[in-house]
Amino acid sequence: MAGIFNTNKDSIPEKLFYALFSLQHRGHESAGITYRKGSELAVHKGLGSVGSVLTPLLREPIESRVGIGHVRYSTHGGNTVENVQPVIAECNKGKIAISHNGNISNAVALNEHLTDEGSIFRSTSDTELILHLIARSKGTSFQAALVETLHKLEGAYSLVLIHEDSLFAVRDPHGFRPLYIGEKDGATYIASETCALDMLKVRKRREVKPGELIRISSSGVTSEMFAKPVPVSACVFELIYFARPDSEVFGHSVHLMRKKIGAALAEREHKTADIVVPVPDSGNSAAVGYADKAGIPFELALTRNHFTGRSFILPTTTDRELAVRMKLHPVQPAIEGKRVVLIDDSLVRGTTSRNLVKLVKEAKAKEIHLRLAAPELKWPCFFGIDIPTRKELISNKLSPEQIARDIGADSVAFLPLEDLRKCVGNNGGFCDACFSGDYPIPVEHRLKGA
Amino acid sequence: MAGIFNTNKDSIPEKLFYALFSLQHRGHESAGITYRKGSELAVHKGLGSVGSVLTPLLREPIESRVGIGHVRYSTHGGNTVENVQPVIAECNKGKIAISHNGNISNAVALNEHLTDEGSIFRSTSDTELILHLIARSKGTSFQAALVETLHKLEGAYSLVLIHEDSLFAVRDPHGFRPLYIGEKDGATYIASETCALDMLKVRKRREVKPGELIRISSSGVTSEMFAKPVPVSACVFELIYFARPDSEVFGHSVHLMRKKIGAALAEREHKTADIVVPVPDSGNSAAVGYADKAGIPFELALTRNHFTGRSFILPTTTDRELAVRMKLHPVQPAIEGKRVVLIDDSLVRGTTSRNLVKLVKEAKAKEIHLRLAAPELKWPCFFGIDIPTRKELISNKLSPEQIARDIGADSVAFLPLEDLRKCVGNNGGFCDACFSGDYPIPVEHRLKGA
Amino acid sequence: MAGIFNTNKDSIPEKLFYALFSLQHRGHESAGITYRKGSELAVHKGLGSVGSVLTPLLREPIESRVGIGHVRYSTHGGNTVENVQPVIAECNKGKIAISHNGNISNAVALNEHLTDEGSIFRSTSDTELILHLIARSKGTSFQAALVETLHKLEGAYSLVLIHEDSLFAVRDPHGFRPLYIGEKDGATYIASETCALDMLKVRKRREVKPGELIRISSSGVTSEMFAKPVPVSACVFELIYFARPDSEVFGHSVHLMRKKIGAALAEREHKTADIVVPVPDSGNSAAVGYADKAGIPFELALTRNHFTGRSFILPTTTDRELAVRMKLHPVQPAIEGKRVVLIDDSLVRGTTSRNLVKLVKEAKAKEIHLRLAAPELKWPCFFGIDIPTRKELISNKLSPEQIARDIGADSVAFLPLEDLRKCVGNNGGFCDACFSGDYPIPVEHRLKGA
Amino acid sequence: MAGIFNTNKDSIPEKLFYALFSLQHRGHESAGITYRKGSELAVHKGLGSVGSVLTPLLREPIESRVGIGHVRYSTHGGNTVENVQPVIAECNKGKIAISHNGNISNAVALNEHLTDEGSIFRSTSDTELILHLIARSKGTSFQAALVETLHKLEGAYSLVLIHEDSLFAVRDPHGFRPLYIGEKDGATYIASETCALDMLKVRKRREVKPGELIRISSSGVTSEMFAKPVPVSACVFELIYFARPDSEVFGHSVHLMRKKIGAALAEREHKTADIVVPVPDSGNSAAVGYADKAGIPFELALTRNHFTGRSFILPTTTDRELAVRMKLHPVQPAIEGKRVVLIDDSLVRGTTSRNLVKLVKEAKAKEIHLRLAAPELKWPCFFGIDIPTRKELISNKLSPEQIARDIGADSVAFLPLEDLRKCVGNNGGFCDACFSGDYPIPVEHRLKGA
């Protein structure tokens, strides 16, 4: 998710292209850009990657004052054209464009209330309901209506909006999802992660604060704390898996935090092994930290195929073993006869790990010890991370020992929850509900269906 | 526009495909199909032709009880993905899918009222507002809410809708746009023109009456006249240009009506010529009628290229002369030295005719007399036909004699309005406002901007 | 097939694009252009239509002195990339590009001889063997080698070639296939039919003579009769079906010749009918001639769909009835109760006619009399027209009366061979072997396999 | 390059697909597969990746006895459809399909001789000339003709061929390029690297020997040493850069050899640094070896974007800095204030390194020391590796010190040639001409133009 308020003649769509390109790890199923063109909002969006959907925007520079963009994977609502963001609508407040990262946890109740009142929903995403609330607000200005709306929302929402010639950036009071604001040569940049700002060489930046609403217009930048302070609960899974390693989120370097977690994992171990091997690329940073701390040689004994993944989709993705075999390749002479510590970021269903362990066994490892740079994943997320139902999560079914037997490893171990909390700072400020079940917002009613 | 209620295991999407394929002359910029799949509505739609957008639906049979489809050219609202029909929304009446042919003439007022009340509009088409009105209706059943909505609409609307397992077909009280219902082997078929029913070999059929609302469900077919009778004003331009010649619309054979118009045009003439040449294919039927009546040999001295047109789009469409030259080819030995009566359906801006006359001159015609099987086009349409603004219409700027000079013809003549009215039946029942300015519904406020 | 020798800065590829676009009825399965670029030959070719394969060449003007182009349907050799023309090769005579229209009737013998000598064939088309012969010639100049090669070829060949900066045009001594040369503003244009020259507004033109070799270079245009005169045998099927009606081929207007044939067909008749209906567009010209001569009203009671055909291909083309139904639409009110004379150009397998008659019957014709503007098709063609094997040709299996019964018509009649010969000129000059079996070149050995 | 001789009903094209998919690092500009289908050779090939060109072959199993496939990047001959392999031709020996990895160093002389004799060349690749030589051979059997042909070839060639129902595998006497043969369940597999055999779980395998010709047919596998032994000169650049790290080539593990080279590089150093950072992924293996040996912490401080590279091509690739910035991302908190040893595989033009150093500087490295796991690249390759001309190679223009200044690094150092030779085995057996200029085959005449 990104937004730009321009002060020069640079091409807004081009800048948004590069910002979104850098954020594709956050969603590569659809991409979209909206920018102000005269009094209209031009829209380019579609299913597919940033490269495939938005490259036409690079053909020639397009002058514009303000624009926003979005990349998406389906957390809430199916992967249909109707759900691709930004969402644009016209209402009594004028034309509004909005992009949303997160999940509104009281969406069902709000939705019911709105449909009772006669609202129609053309998409299944949370985002449309924010627009409905703005339209129905009696607020005397757009910003007043927006604030009134935000007061009704619960859950996770980092937002960028366009209204008239203004760009708005909003982060929910709990600060679930990251959001950054930067400035360069008079232009203002909003992005989910700093890697998007780096791509645009925007060095001057800070976090948008939890509960902050920023408005950028030709009269300048104003900031408003729209909600009473509540305890912050930033998503720890961003640090563990979701964010890009070269990004800063929540004030932390993602790569360094993962190294720290890897080191913490090693500290708990008395296991003697010959090599530490990351599952590329998700286990890379933690493996470096683990190997350093454990004093065991780091070895790149699993290589990753650059022709697979996002760019190439097999006609049948049902064959998980084949998919893993096409993507990850063990270096047999580096593995054969060795006791291998395999480092991955987390364990979800266990399917990929099972196939991975099989590959490493075929390469004749003497022992395979799978280490996860995260605690056991046991609870669903209602704040924007796509985690399967409880029944599908392997840690709700099996103990680490049982998992080891199930996937064919010699041992499996997770980072203890208290160690994770120690790594990220014991004074809280993080939501680790997917590991702990400690939801910072009541979600009992939603847990029933999860 | 088409809708099907199935009673057997035939593939609804496949049948809709062929129906829409037959209706592409009504709109080839986008195509869409929605059908009931369990309790959901599956949607396939996109910009492009029926062939390019919907062919994937032919891969395998899909069982479904009810479906609707639409082809579109932009009358109202730009040609964007958001505007592609059918439009699907969820509201307090449940899930609704709708396709609309026509234009709501009080859309602006309804839209203002709805936005005042807090509705948001995600598209610029009229269709979305019908859904808003249904959602806001206090009607105790879906059908009651639909009828309440229809009472608020003015202008032209032929509609098909899906609600739960029912298919609805509606035609506005004035009957502006055509709509047919047919039955075969227990299944019910709705289509804008009979050519779509022919394609599906549905022979038993009748017009949906102006002001009729038909509901087809597993309990059978019910019909309701939802509005008090008003004078019918069927669009005469459907007969002149828009509908396919092999169709029946408004109870008339399109081809035979055009022949009749061609004959009427010939009756007014004392011009002696050597050959009557249609501009293919829009002037074909009228030219046959003209040649017969005038006793002048019919000659196919302009041939049409089957590789141009809808299938092939030049990178630059600005070069109108080139576009005409790529599509229409004079047969010089049939034209050289001859006095040619050139028959076309109507004259809009005059650009194509100018290039056409140039081509026929290059083929060394001795004289070129352009005859239009329609009166002078002078007024905008607010009921579903895409006619340029008054300023762009050549007949608002030049007399027939001036047009002849302007486009290089030896003479230009139109069908007198009274002759057109005689052809289609003097007792009225038609809207010919684009020629006469006699709008059957007050449109003063809209004319200002036209 | 087309070639251009330029003398100004016009874009050769662009001109070739428009020439080939006009010739697509001669082949729409592949398209290719080669033009001289410095000392190299740039090539753009592929499977598909001119529009889909060659549109990229329109992006910007490309200066070049000489270029040739080709459109193809598979007469000889499968429809693979290897067979797409122009064919370019490098040999001891330098770089050569060649496009070929026709069929070499002694190809098998030449091929055997060449492979015995160690030649390799990368395609299955005749064209490659011409290059082999040029390469193996001891001729002291390229033109000498080309003439030596032509002396070895039997059968049908109209050729354009590029060698160094020269353009060559060749037509075989029998003149089987048409070939025209034109001049405009100092540039020289070669094309199979005049319609391509019309597209480029090249009005000054003549036939390339049978047995003529023309060389166009910066030193001017030279012409050589490379072979002793033999009786000319131009392909009569070009006039009956293959060429575009607005073209001139073999000195005749295609449209006027077809009208003449239609009139000849009518002269043999005593049948009284109500309407004459062409099968669009192949029967159009003959139907006009027939109706005029017979004094029966011409009626456009079958309309053609402009969304099918070349632009849209159904996933399964096996369903011939569906294919016909999607392309041709009877106008029932014009047909119902009428005695219909249906005019088509020729009868091959009878499948399309059977489906067509079915359609016209469904439209309730009282009688259907199918008339073919050609004699009975009974023999294969070895000179460039794609005719099925003898066994597949319906006229080798059934008499006209039997065909009528077989396809459901009330009668079927063909143009007698002597009438065709009278139409095109009794003094010969045409090959009508597909009707008569009188091959102008011995083909006994080939007939065995046909 | 791969070939399969089947003994069961497995789908040959599917197996070839996965083999070629694994070999795409050897060429991703085009892909092709040929397999025996009855007595014909079916061909699927095109410009693009294995995924884009060959996925249609996965739709359904295709039974076949024998097939070969190829992936290509342009060493010799442009990137045109004509040059895509396998090359298929028909000659007096029958139908032959061939794929070739390498470069024939006497191609020009052979080509001249062949064109003198009347051969034509339809492509600019070396491969076609092998087919010409086979066709012109007087050998009494195909294998005899093949051997006679091989005796005429100089330079690098690993080949797979199909003739009738047999598969042939050939490696040139110097063994420039790798080639492996494997066996599983009675089927025989040929592939350039073992990673392709791993993909197919073919564990039983050996190198095809330099100078060996293997024939696989239904009568079994036969091997022939077709040439007198010469000193082997395997391409050292395969180990340094070209081959995939998990492959074995020339009997060596690529990954382990690169680690060894990295360690050798470290041994020469007295430089004290804070972190060793690989340029992903080409510097990965060497960096692990370097860090281990130098005792400096290994750090993954440059991350690689998985959405760039082969899958996404920018409209303008001219902006090299942007291209690097989109692909490689420094982790600033891991770099800031550190003395960084940056490890890459080799230095060609220096452009990428310049941009890379710029990125690392922006991330505030205290010092940047670029280390290359290869000697200075100074000479062109005539045996299959695509190296720019001497003038373009930075090491022919600047000393390491000058390069450091030029690209903005604090120091630049290469692996000394003698160290490389020690790593791969001092007893020779390798061609390192690109570093040393010691060509194992006389190439003086070719060097002039290089």
Q: Mind giving me the DSSP string for B178-216?
A: --EEEEETTEEEEESSHHHHHHTT--EEEEPPTTEEEEE
Query: DSSP for D10-30?
Result: -BHHHHHHHHHHHTGGG--SE
Segment C290-320, tens digit of pLDDT: 999 999 999 999 999 988 754 344 444 457 7
Asked if D122 lies within 8 A of C91 by C-beta distance, the reply is no
Model confidence at A190: pLDDT above 90: yes
Q: Could you check whether the bond before residue C440 is cis, i.e. omega within 30 degrees of 0? A: no
Point out the residue among B46, B90, B115 whose CB comes nearest to the CB of A120: B90
Size of interface B-C (CB pairs under 8 A): 133
For residue A449, how many other CB atoms are within 10 A of its CB? 8
Chain mean pLDDT for chain A: 92
CA distance D155 to D172: 7
CA distance C278 to C208: 33
Asked if A310 lies within 8 A of D307 by C-beta distance, the reply is yes
Asked if A90 lies within 8 A of B115 by C-beta distance, the reply is yes
**CA terminus-to-terminus distance, chain A:** 27
Model confidence at A226: pLDDT above 90: yes
Model confidence at C179: pLDDT above 50: yes
Name the pairing type of β-strands C339-344 and C367-372: parallel
pLDDT score, position D312: 46
Q: How far is CA D182 from CA A362, C27, D195, in A?
A: 17, 47, 12
D422: DSSP letter: H
Q: How far is CA D380 from CA A108, C22, C100, D433, D439, in A?
A: 67, 49, 42, 8, 10
Q: Which residues of C40-55 are buried (b: 16+ CB within 10 A; e: fewer)?
A: ebbbbbebebbbebbb
Segment A77-89, tens digit of pLDDT: 455 677 889 999 9
Find, among D120, D46, D47, D56, the residue nearest to D89 by Cα: D120
A334 touches chain D (CB under 8 A): yes
Segment A321-380, tens digit of pLDDT: 888 899 999 999 999 999 999 999 999 999 999 999 999 999 999 999 999 999 999 999
Name the pairing type of β-strands C234-235 and C430-431: parallel
Point out the residue among A24, A253, A333 whose CB comes nearest to the CB of D331: A253
- Between B242-256, D160-174, D304-318, the lowest mean confidence (pLDDT) is in D304-318
For residue A238, how many other CB atoms are within 10 A of its CB? 26
| Chain D, window 248-287: residues with a beta carbon less than 8 angstroms from a chain A beta carbon | 248, 253, 255-256, 281, 284-285
Task: Collect all residues with Cβ–Cβ distance below 8 Å to B317 and sequence separation of at least 6.
Answer: B323
Confidence of residue C271 (pLDDT cuts 50, 70, 90): confident
Name the pairing type of β-strands A367-372 and A339-344: parallel
CB A369 within 8 A of CB A411: yes
CB D5 within 8 A of CB D183: no
C73 touches chain B (CB under 8 A): no
CA distance D296 to D314: 37
C and A: touch, per 3+ CB pairs < 8 A? no
Q: Enumerate the residues of chain D whose CB falls inside 8 A of the CB of residue C92.
A: 115-116, 118
Q: Enumerate the residues of chain B whose CB falls inside 8 A of the CB of residue A149.
A: none
Q: Which class would CATH give D257-447?
A: alpha beta
Q: Could you check whether the bond before residue D292 is cis, i.e. omega within 30 degrees of 0? A: no
**CA terminus-to-terminus distance, chain B:** 27
Helix (H, G, I), strand (E, B) or coil at C325: helix
Extended beta strands in B10-93, E state:
30-37, 40-47, 66-72, 87-91
CA distance A347 to A159: 30
Tokens of B175: 């009957």
Prediction pTM value? 0.91
Asked if A91 lies within 8 A of B136 by C-beta distance, the reply is no
Chains that touch A (3 or more CB pairs under 8 A): B, D
Q: How far is C116 from chain B (nearest CA, A)?
A: 44
Tokens of B2: 């088409």
CA distance D404 to D368: 9
Q: What is the pLDDT along chain B (450 residues), one digit of tens a residue?
A: 999 999 877 889 999 999 999 999 999 889 999 999 988 999 999 888 898 889 888 888 888 999 999 998 765 445 567 788 999 999 999 999 999 999 999 999 999 999 999 999 988 778 999 999 999 999 989 999 999 999 999 999 999 999 999 999 999 999 999 999 999 999 999 999 999 999 999 999 999 999 999 999 999 999 999 999 999 999 999 999 999 999 999 999 999 999 999 999 999 887 789 999 999 999 999 999 999 999 999 999 999 998 875 434 444 445 778 888 999 999 999 999 999 999 999 999 999 999 999 999 999 999 999 999 999 999 999 999 988 889 999 999 999 999 999 999 999 999 999 999 999 997 779 999 999 999 999 887 777 655
**CA terminus-to-terminus distance, chain D:** 27
Which residue in the block uniquely carries the two structure tokens 């006469």? B436
Point out the residue among C49, C288, C332 whose CB comes nearest to the CB of B300: C288
D310: DSSP letter: T
What are D201's strand-pairing partners?
Answer: none
What sign does the dihedral C198-C200-C203-C209 (CA atoms) show? negative
Find, among A423, A414, A304, A331, the residue nearest to A370 by Cα: A414
Q: Is B92 exposed, middle or buried (0-12, 13-18, 19+ CB in 10 A)?
A: middle
User: In sequence order, which ranges of C58-202 are alpha helices (DSSP H)?
Assistant: 107-116, 127-136, 142-152, 194-199
pLDDT score, position D387: 87
Fold of B2-230: Glutamine Phosphoribosylpyrophosphate, subunit 1, domain 1 (3.60.20)
pLDDT score, position C83: 82
Segment A14-50, tens digit of pLDDT: 999 999 999 999 998 899 999 999 889 999 998 888 9
CA distance D245 to D229: 30
Q: Which chain D residue shows the shortest CA-CA distance from C97? A: D122
CB D128 within 8 A of CB C158: no
Asked if D128 lies within 8 A of C116 by C-beta distance, the reply is no
Residues of chain A with CATH 3.60.20.10: 2-230
Asked if A307 lies within 8 A of D256 by C-beta distance, the reply is no
CA distance C44 to C37: 12
B110 touches chain A (CB under 8 A): no
Model confidence at A242: pLDDT above 80: yes
Asked if C119 lies within 8 A of D116 by C-beta distance, the reply is no
B116 touches chain A (CB under 8 A): yes
Residues of chain A with CATH 3.40.50.2020: 257-447
CA distance D294 to D371: 13
Per-residue pLDDT, averaged over C60-75, amounts to 87
Tokens of B67: 């479906």
Asked if D199 lies within 8 A of A325 by C-beta distance, the reply is yes
Q: Is A10 exposed, middle or buried (0-12, 13-18, 19+ CB in 10 A)?
A: middle
Identify the helix (H) or strand (E) that includes residue B159: strand B158-163
Q: How far is CA C379 from CA C240, C385, C387, C436, in A?
A: 16, 11, 8, 7
Model confidence at D316: pLDDT above 50: no
Segment C374-398, tens digit of pLDDT: 999 999 999 999 888 899 999 999 9
Tokens of C283: 């029967």
A and B: touch, per 3+ CB pairs < 8 A? yes
> Within its chain, how far is the Cα of A446 from the centroid?
21
Point out the residue among A46, A91, A115 whose CB comes nearest to the CB of B91: A115
B83: DSSP letter: G
Q: Is C59 exposed, middle or buried (0-12, 13-18, 19+ CB in 10 A)?
A: exposed
Residues in chain D: 450
